[in-house]
Amino acid sequence: IHCIMFVVLLYMAYLFFSKKRVFPKYYIGYALFSFAFIVGDSFAVSMILSKDEVFTDELYMKMGIAAATILIWCPYILRSKRVKNTFVND
C-alpha cells in the first residue's frame, strides 16, 4: 500500500504543478485515506501482535498530524477562493 500511496503522491505532484482542477479532490481523498490507513493498520497490527504495545506516542503523533491535516487543510481547500482560482486547468 505504501508503494501505491507513493505513486499517488507523484501523480498529485503532477496535478499540483499543472494546476489541474481535480487536485483538491485528490488531496482530500489522500488525506482521508492516509488517516484511515494509519488507524486501520494500527488496529490490524495490534490484533496480530497482541503482546507488543502498538499504540505508542509516535503512533499517536502520526494520527494527530493526519487528523490536523484533515481538520485544517481540507476545509481550506474546499472554501478558499485562492484554491479555486489556482486549480483551473482541465
Identify the pLDDT of residue 20.
96
What is the rounded average pLDDT for all residues in the chain? Answer: 93
User: Is pLDDT at 70 greater than 90 in this prediction?
Assistant: yes
pTM value is 0.86
Per the DSSP assignment, residues forming a β-bridge with 20 are 89
Sign (positive or negative) of CA dihedral 33, 39, 42, 47: negative
User: Is pLDDT at 49 greater than 90 in this prediction?
Assistant: no
* Range among 7-11, 43-47, 54-58 with highest mean pLDDT value: 7-11
Burial of 52 (0-12, 13-18, 19+ CB in 10 A): exposed
Identify the pLDDT of residue 56.
84
